[in-house]
Amino acid sequence: MKKLVWLVVLVAVVVGAKEFLSGGGSLPGMSPPRFENPYPASSPLHAQHQDFIDRANADEKLRKRFAGIMTSKGLFAELKLALARGAQSLEGPMVVSATRAMAAVIPRLPERSCAKLMRPRDDFDPELERDVRAAFERLPPRHHKNFLEFYLRALQAEVHDAPRVARDPAARERALVHLGEAYPGAFGQRLAGVLRDPLRASDEDACWAINSMTHTSTQLDPESAEALSRLLWGGEG
């Protein structure tokens, strides 16, 4: 099973990653840039994002990490690294709750953008950002809270070199077996075809694969849900 990094794009959307830093790059003697809330005070999402912003700005080491990153590709790479570290270092229930939030976002996406989540990329996609932001804004508040908490903790885990959770290869293999059991016959063949070559898969097949696999991974037993969530976030594999 290939490592999936679709949440990198979703994280960028949720906090306005290309716009959430004020002050641009930093010069010697200057304070590192500060995170900014992408939502106005009138938005129902403002308060939850402000909590994230305040906690991020209070972490000077985190702010310094993003100082001087001027390109979207550079920021994309940093976020990808942080999410992988979050998958490796954070407690299982938090990783699974963030995956559940994404499982709620994906069905709300247009098929074209949904399909993009299965395809490799090295930069942000403006169309995908727009569509995911719109979908995320329609979710229940608990999903916003769970996702933002995971995102902040993942960033901090990378910046502060948090210890990694010990890997359990046997649990991972059991989880993959349980996931495979959910796709018998033609369903398994369809999923395997998308994973084998996501670039050639149709939008319909690619969207079905990421939607179904994300949802199914959260419905398995707790051990398997955790192992698959860590894998889907790019922390293993």
Give the tens place of pLDDT for each residue, 46-79. Answer: 888 899 889 989 999 988 887 777 677 887 888 8
Q: Are 125 and 116 in contact (CB under 8 A)?
A: yes
Please report which confidence band the pLDDT of residue 26 belongs to, taking 50, 70 and 90 as the band edges: very low
The dihedral through the CA atoms of 179, 180, 185, 186 has a sign that is positive
Looking at residue 36, what is its pLDDT? Answer: 83
CA–CA dist 160, 201 (Å, integer): 39
Please report which confidence band the pLDDT of residue 4 belongs to, taking 50, 70 and 90 as the band edges: very low
Q: Are 165 and 89 in contact (CB under 8 A)?
A: yes
Mean residue pLDDT across the chain: 84
Looking at residue 1, what is its pLDDT? Answer: 46
Identify the weakest region by mean pLDDT among 9-18, 119-128, 131-140: 9-18
Cα distance from N-terminal residue to C-terminal residue, the chain: 8
Percent of the chain past pLDDT 90, that is, above it, reads 47
Looking at residue 54, what is its pLDDT? Answer: 92
Looking at residue 108, what is its pLDDT? Answer: 94
pLDDT in tens, 197-207: 999 999 999 99
pLDDT in tens, 181-235: 999 999 999 999 998 899 999 999 999 999 999 999 999 999 999 999 998 887 6
